[in-house]
Chain A
Amino acid sequence: MSTVDPAIVTTGGHGHADDHGHGHGHHGSFISTYVFSTDHKMIGKQFLITTLLMLMVGGALALGVRWQLAFRWEAMPIFGQLFPAQGGQIPPEFYTMLVTMHASVMIFLVIIPILAGAFGNFLIPLMIGADDMAFPILNMLSYWFMWPAIFCFGASFLSAGYGAAGGWTSYPLLSALPEAAPGSGTAQTWWLFGLTFVGFSSMMGSINYMTTIINMRAPGMTLFRMPLTIWAMFITAILQSFALPVLTAAGFMLVADRMLGTCFFIPSGIVVNDTDPTVGGGQPLLWQHLFWFYSHPAVYIMLLPAMGMVSDMLACMSRKPIFGYKPMVYSMAAIAGLGFIVWGHHMFTSGMNPALGMTFMVSTVMIALPSAVKVFNWIGTMWGGRLVFNTVMLNCIAFVSMFIVGGLSGIFMAAVPVDIYIHDTYFIVAHFHYVLFGATLFGCFAGIVFWFPKMYGRLMNEKLGKLHFFLTFIGFNGTFFPMHLLGVSGMPRRYADPYLHPYLEHLLPMNQFMTCCAILMGFSQFILLFNFFYSRQFGPKCGRNPWNANGLEWTAPSPPGHGNFESVPICHRGPYEYSDPKHSEDFWLQTDPPAKRGEGPATVAAH
């Protein structure tokens, strides 16, 4: 039997009764409690539910892409209804829209907000022992700026051309000249505005996180007693606040090019769609530099928080201290630092100065190093532990296992000569799905299950959780592993019909297999949604610390009331003191005073 059985309410001393309605109470109206709430927990939950819904939207778009790749030009379910005269056959610009909007929704409306917005908001004050964020109103705004973003992306769908279709990278001139493609008209403008709003939202969040983490830690919570989640959030916030202004500026420049007639990115003499030649002395490569200056760090923004969260969960579920806490922190910082000087590796084939290619290659290859250190440390963390194979742990192991693949495939692209061949092929698609889905999303799934008790005071259903994990894992690998092979076979990305080219014809059966797996994976997300909303209402209630974890958040009631803690928690040790032989339990809450050896954490939490 495992040491932690989530079904049993642990942490004796805490009945269910005192988990709700204590001291501070919820006095606000419905609107101020549930809609325009300034409570970080509510904002976190709002972010979480919004992003889960967006996940389904993005997934549906992805299934459209997969359908076309497996059953090209055949009537597409649901989306095909838009083209009745064609018998449900989608036009190719619709396909490029699907590709573009799938990426945009997943990156800007799912991954970034679920990590920083949902988990960042919910966890930071709880884990550092603060009663709320430093700037609660700013925090609320950061959520509500997501909605204009969602609205703008939605408007992009409804504009002529079905939505922005220049790829999520939106390289000019495809994105700069409204005539260049059906999706480059108003749809692209809306897309850019959406991007800007996501930027606002993220910026407000990052400032808030940095301030909160620096200023509002509980007594005794020194920097090196912070859980790795908090470190990750902190580093992410720094990354975001430094990189984002560049993207925002670039976005405004592109909008200006489109609407005000400037020529930042438009060279002269370009004729698109039989228009008059352009005037101007712009340079399309400038956009690529600016875009990737943000978007490469953004890749780490999309990964670091998950790394931090998984470190916490792995330690807890292995009942072991994290292996190499400080190297973990340093490696995250190294990833962030190096993350700023590797953007050029997206442009190896674009006509950048070749000498620069070499420097970017070295820095890019070296960024694999901190990632490798982290993987070794995670395995070290599990080494000799008493592993608990629950949903949380399974998702975490999947994270490590998938991240290894995603990390290793990254080395291929870092090496410029090899990248010449695999650039813009499915190898790239495989790589970033292994990192963003395989790693980040599995980390998020684990995080949802792990902190769900803290959010709603109830546990999620284990059986459904495991089923969801099982199907998702199989579907995921079935969909994305073959993409490596497609990439090596030279199948380019964003092709509505790759089989037009004879050297790719034989890959159709493989793509059909992948589509079946993708459909399996897509539909198994309904299990997650069902489990989430079902457990929220009917899951078994739990106490403060169902997982016997150490962090400060587990000393607060489940769910915590306004202000989180009944009294200011005092932090006495690091967050990973599991299985300390000096202690009777196999976990040791951060708030347990060191003198009272052998006592349960319950009495401490109530002081």
Chain B
Amino acid sequence: MKRFWCLFFMIWPVLALYVCWIAPSMGWWFPFTGPTGMKAASPLGERIDDLFYMILYITTATFVGTQIALGYVLFKGAAATDEGNTEKAWYSHGSHNLEVIWTIVPACVLLFIALYQMDVWAQYRVKDSFPSETKQGAIAEVTARQFEWRIRYPGLGPDGKPLPLMPEPQPTDLYTVNDLHAVVGKAVMIILETQDVQHSFFLPELRVKQDAVPGLDIPVWFKASKSGDYTLLCAELCGWGHYKMKARMVAETEDKYLEFLQNLTKSQNYDGVPETPAEGAPVASAAE
């Protein structure tokens, strides 16, 4: 029976490793339904994934090592009580050298892990290290509320380019709900706010997450590396409809993005009168 238990304790780590091994092929790994598949959809996300894998390799090695040691110890300890084996257990209070080794070595590894991560963190969060593209200002104000994302874009100026985003709502502003658009391949910044309780802005495919804290306007930047629809959801418990905050982030080319803003302008100014002139003849008239 004791050998059964030794085996029992050895089978589960093997099983665990096996499950982790097949996980990517079974779809139990990073989200894969986005435009980039299982790969992170932003350069920063890729770096985060790299760090994840680095830690994964280190911890897997540790896991395997300790479990093998545990298994060895168990089998040996089980054999020690076999019939006729009357020898006493090894009388040892420990080893100073071993203690020093297994303190210093993990300490170095851990410190390495910590220091190695700083760069990515700084780029993600420290405003001085934000990509220069974001210095032009935010593209939209994303306001989380129970239970949806309300987004305010600055309107288009007379030159057809988006106006700067003002802290206060402007008559020219454009609004959408649960539908954030951004230009692909360009670092864009949004201002994250909440109207009520705490929410969290989570783009799983881009590995971006930032809480929206009541009373704070938080800048968040991201850069989608491929155009397409990405998931946007809430990651901080915000009440009963927490799971309902389903939205999308659409990464698209600059032209498409402007077209989207133009369409938004059009539909937001829709006055219900059927248009008599032929469609598709946009008149950029300032003669109002």
Q: Do A and B come from one complex?
A: yes
A-side residues, CB < 8 A to B, are 1-3, 91-93, 95-96, 99, 165-167, 171-174, 177, 180-182, 184, 266-268, 270-273, 282-285, 318-325, 327, 349-351, 354-355, 357-358, 361-362, 365-366, 368-369, 372-373, 375-377, 379-380, 382-389, 394, 397-398, 400-401, 404-405, 408-409, 411-412, 414-418, 420-421, 423-425, 470, 473, 477, 481-482, 484-486, 488-490, 492-498, 500-504, 506-507, 510, 576, 578-581, 586
Provide the bound-state CA to CA distance between A180 and B241, in Å: 11
Complex Cα distance A182/B33, Å? Answer: 34
Q: How far is the CA of A481 from the CA of B28 in the complex (A)?
A: 12
Note all chain A residues with C-beta closer than 8 A to B204: 421, 490, 503
Does B213 reach chain A (CB closer than 8 Å)? yes
Interface string of B98-119 (1 = CB under 8 A from A): 1100110011001101110110
Residue of B200, B205, B233 with highest tally of chain A CB at under 10 A: B233
Do A351 and B210 have beta carbons less than 8 Å apart?
A: yes
Closest to B83 in A: A1
Interface residues of B in 65-120 (CB under 8 A from A): 66-67, 69-70, 73-74, 76-78, 80-81, 83, 88-95, 98-99, 102-103, 106-107, 110-111, 113-115, 117-118, 120
Q: Which of A99, A172, A349 counts the most B-chain CB atoms under 10 A from its CB?
A: A349
Are B19 and A485 within 8 A (Cβ)? yes
Known: A386-B81, A408-B63, A490-B204. A581 touches B242 (CB 8 A): no
| A-B CB proximity, top 3 nearest | A267-B215, A387-B77, A384-B90
Q: Which residues between 265 and 284 of chain B lie within 8 Å of chain A, taking CB atoms?
A: none
Contact with A along B203-238 (1 / 0, CB 8 A): 011011111011110100000000000010111111
Is B77 in contact with A385, judged by CB distance below 8 angstroms? yes
Residues of A within 8 A of B73 (CB): 379, 382-383, 385
A3–B239 Cα distance when bound, in Å, is 56
B48 adjacent to A418 (CB under 8 Å): yes
Verify A93–B69 contact, CB threshold 8 A: no
Residues of B contacting A405 in the complex (Cβ-Cβ under 8 angstroms): 16, 63
Query: 10 additional contacts, CB 8 Å, given A373-B106, A394-B5, A510-B28?
Result: A96-B240, A171-B236, A172-B198, A272-B196, A375-B66, A382-B77, A397-B70, A424-B236, A500-B244, A503-B32
Residue B172 interfacial (CB < 8 Å)? no
Chain B: which residue is nearest A476 at the CB level? B12
Contact B241 A492 (CB under 8 A): no
Cβ–Cβ contact B92 & A92, under 8 A:
no
Report which of B94, B114, B126, B215 forms a contact with A325, defined as CB distance below 8 A. Answer: B94
Interface set, chain B 1-48, CB cutoff 8 A to A: 1-2, 5-6, 8-9, 12-13, 16, 19-20, 23, 27-34, 45, 47-48
Residues of A within 8 A of B89 (CB): 318-320, 384-386, 578-579, 586
Cα A174 to Cα B211 with chains together (Å): 14
Identify the B interface with A (CB < 8 A).
Answer: 1-2, 5-6, 8-9, 12-13, 16, 19-20, 23, 27-34, 45, 47-48, 51-52, 55-56, 58-59, 62-63, 66-67, 69-70, 73-74, 76-78, 80-81, 83, 88-95, 98-99, 102-103, 106-107, 110-111, 113-115, 117-118, 120-122, 124-126, 146, 195-198, 200, 202, 204-205, 207-211, 213-216, 218, 231, 233-244, 246
Contact of B90 with A365 in the complex, beta carbons under 8 Å: no
Q: In the complex, A476 Cα to B94 Cα: how many Å?
A: 33
Contact between chains at A502 and B102 (CB < 8 Å): no
Interchain Cβ contacts under 8 Å between A and B, 24 examples? A2-B81, A96-B240, A96-B242, A165-B239, A167-B237, A267-B215, A273-B196, A320-B90, A323-B94, A351-B210, A358-B122, A372-B62, A372-B106, A380-B98, A405-B63, A412-B56, A417-B48, A420-B207, A423-B235, A481-B16, A496-B242, A496-B243, A503-B205, A581-B88
Min CB–CB distance B58 → chain A (angstroms): 8
A284 B121 Cβ-Cβ under 8 A: no
Q: How far is the CB of A319 from chain B (nearest CB, A)?
A: 4
Q: Quick check: B209 and A349 within 8 Å, CB to CB?
A: yes
Closest approach, in angstroms, between the C-beta of B246 and any C-beta of chain A?
A: 6
